[in-house]
Structure 1
C-alpha cells in the first residue's frame, strides 16, 4: 500500500530521546545528590573529629604542664623542713633550698610561701633570667583568688590558670603539711609559670602541630565575633573559614571558672578536599556509564520499536480521512496487534461516523439552550445582589425622624470608608428632605474610634452646618473622647453628650 510521509514521524524519536535522557539524568541525580551529601557529610564529620582531637591534645598538653608544676610542688608542701620554716622562718632554709637553679630545674617563674593568715613568709620571681622579690600586689591578688589558699583537707591541690600583672600564669597551690601528710595545715606554697613563647614552643613540640593560645579577655579583632559564641555550656567551636581552611576554638577557664584562654587551631581542609575530588571521580564515572548505557538502549529501542511505530503512524495519517482504507499488518508481535486493532477501530468509526454527525447537531442545540438558561439565571442573581446591597446599606445607616425638625441616626459596628460615605450621604439627604434643624448621631454602638472615623465625624458636622443645621454627637464615652483627642481632633467643634437621652433633652430645649 502506498503511503505519504507523516509530518510528525521524527517526534517519536525526539520524545523517546527526551524521556530517555531525562530518565538517565534523574537516575544520575538520584544517585549523585544523596551520595554527595553522605560523602561530604562524612568527610566533614571526619575533619571535625580530627579537629576535636587536636583541640583535646592542646588542652591535655596545658593540663600536663599544670600537673608537672603540681608534681614539683608536692615535695615542697609535704616536707618537714618547709613545715618548720613556716612556723619559724630561717634564712638557712632559703639559702640551702631556694636557689636560682631551682627555678631553672622546675621551669618556674614564681614561688611563694604563705602562712595560715595569708601573710607572705617568702616569695621570689624571675622573668627572662632576672630574679627579684614578689611585687606588693601579689598578696592582694592572692586574696582575690581564694582558691589558691582554701583547702578542704591536707591532701587537696589547687591548680589552674590565673591572670597576674596582665600575664597568663599556670599556677599550682598546695597546703603545707608534715612529711607524714598530716596537719594541721600551717600555710600554702605556690608555684607558677608564665605562659610565654618558650612554654608555647614546648606545648607545640608536645602536640606535634602549631597552634595559638588567644587571650579570652582581649581577643584579636578577627576572632572577637567567633570567641563571643563560646560559653561554659558550649566551650568549643569548629567552623570552616573558607573552602580551604578550618578553624577550631576551645575555651579554657581559669581557677575562678572565668574564660582565660582560647585555643586557636587553623588546619587546611585536606580531608574535605580529598572527599570532593573523590566525589568528582565518582560523578564522572557514573555519568560515563550512564551515557554509554543510554546510547545502547536508544539504539535497541529505535530498531525494535520506534521505526515500526513511525511507519505505522505514517499509514494512520494516510487513512485518517479515508475510513474505508486499512493499515498494513506486518509481523506477529505487539506492534502488529496494534495495527490489527487500528483496522478494527477504523471499521467501527466508519459505522459510527454517520450517527456521530447527527448527534453532534442535537448536542449543539442542547448546549445553546443551556447557555441561554444560565444567562437568564445570572441576570436574576445580579438583580438580587443589587437589591440586597441597597437593603444592607439602608440598615447600616438608619435615619429616624424624631420630630419635624429633628433627626436621629444611631451607628453600630465598625465604620470603613464605604460606610462613612453612605452615612454622610444619608444624613445630608435626610436633613435636606426633612428640613431638620438638629441631627443627633449616636455612637453608643461603635466599639472603637480610629483616626479615619474621627475625621469623618468632623467632616459630617461641617457639612451639616453648611445646610443650616447642627450635628449633635451622643453616646460619647470617656474612652472614645480620649481616642478622639489622641488622634488630634478638636472636640470643641462638636456638640457632644454622653447619652442619647441627654442629647434629645438638649435638642428639645433648643
Structure 2
C-alpha cells in the first residue's frame, strides 16, 4: 500500500531532519525565545511596579473625590471657616488617609489653605512653595472637552522636596452639582517607604529614581525611554547573571518624572542552559528507539488492516451491493471504523428503501392535490362566470343612473379579480411558466395590482424606480395583501407609498400608509395566523411567501401616524438595471 511506503520514508527522513533541527533550533529558536521570554518577564516586573504606582494615583483620586464632592468643603472655599479645619484637617486625618498634603485652591489656582503632615514619621512640615499656585495643573482640566467640567487630574510632580503623587479634584456639592467652587489637591510623596511598599507588593528588588536627577546613578536616562520609543528598557549585567529592567513614568505635563529599576537574577537563563544539554541527549536516545518501535507497530496493527479495509470498500463500491459487510476483529480505531462503515451501509440501505417509499407517497399525494386543485378551480370559475352573467343581466335591467349599478360594478370587478387569481393558481400548481422564481419589476407589479383594487381616493406613490426582485411569482400577493391591509384597517388612509433603499449588502423595500397605524403591542402578533379584526390570513401568508425567498418582513410604523412595513432583501435577490452589483 502506498501509504505504508510514504510513512516509513517520512519517519526515516524525520529522524535525519530532527537531529539537524535540534541543533539549529538551539541557535535560531530556543535561545532567542528564551531571551525574549526573559525580557518579557523582566518588563512585566517593572510594568507591575508601574501599575502599582497607577493604582496609588487611582486611590488618591478616590480620596480626592470623597473630600472634594462634599458640601462642607464646598462652603469652606467660600467662608474659610476655622471649624472645618479643626474638625476635619487633624493630623490623624492624614494618617488614616495615608496622604502627606491637602491643598485648597480657588478657581484661579491661588492657594486658600494648605497643610503638610508626614503620615509615616507623624510630623507636620511646611507645604512646598511650588504648590502655592496650581494654575498650570488646573490648566490641564481646562484643556479637556466642555463636557468634562467636573473632571479631575492625577499624576506625578517633580518638586524640589521630592516626587509627589497627587490628585487634583474640582470642589463641588455633595450631590455632584456645581458650579465648581475651587480645587482640592491631595498628595503623597514617593519616598523610600513608599518604594519599599511597592517592592513588597510586586515581590521585586525595586529602585525608583528622579528622571532628571543628574546625581543619580542612572543619569543620563536611556534615550529610548525619554523619546517614548518604548515604555520599558532591559539590559544584562556584564557577568550575564543578572538582568535589569527600567520603566519611565511621565509627570502631569508629559515630561520625564521617575524611572523604576528592577534588579532580577537570570534564573530562566541558568535553567535553560542546563535543560538544553539534557534535552539533546534524551531526544537522541528516544528518537532511535521510537523509530524502530513505531515502524513495527504501524505495519502490524494498522497498515495491513487498512489494506484489507480498502479492498473491501472498493469491492462494495464496484458491485453496488450495499448488503455486504466488512469483517474486523479487535477493539481499536480500525475496528471502530469498520463498524462505522457497516452501520453506514445499513443506514444507506434503509435510507434508499425509505426514500423510494417517500418519493412514491409524495408523488401520489401531489397528484391528488393537483387533481383536487384543478377540479376546485374549474368549479369556482364556473360559479364566478354565473355571477358575472347575472351581474350583467341585472345591470341591463336597471335604469341608467340607478344607485345599485355601482355595487354591481364592484361585484364585476371582484369577479374578474377572482378569475385572475384562480387562473394564476392553476398555472402555478401545474408547474407552468408562471410557477418558477423570476425577476419582477416592483413598480410594474405595484401598478398592475393596485389597478384592480378599490382604491377610491387613496393615492399610490411609487418611488422604487427600476428595482427588480428575484422571488416567487406569489410576490404579487404580497403587494395585494399590504394594500388590502391598509384599505381594510387603516380607517383614514389617503396615501400609500412604496420606496427602496440599500443598507450594506441588503436591500430594504418599504411600504407605508398614513392611516391609524398598528399599536406597539400588536406589531408581532399581526403576522400570526387568525390575528386581526377580520381573522384573516393576509399578513400570515405574506410572511410565509416571503420566507420562500429568504426575505424578512417587520412592521415599525408609529401608531397614529400610519403603518410601515420593511421587507429586507438579501444580497443577490435584488437589482437595479444599470447599477453593477445590484
Q: Could you tell me the TM-score, scaled by structure 2's length? A: 0.43
Max Rg structure = 1
TM-score by length of 1: 0.48
Greater per-residue helix proportion: 1
Larger relative contact order (C-alpha < 8 A, sep ≥ 6)? 1
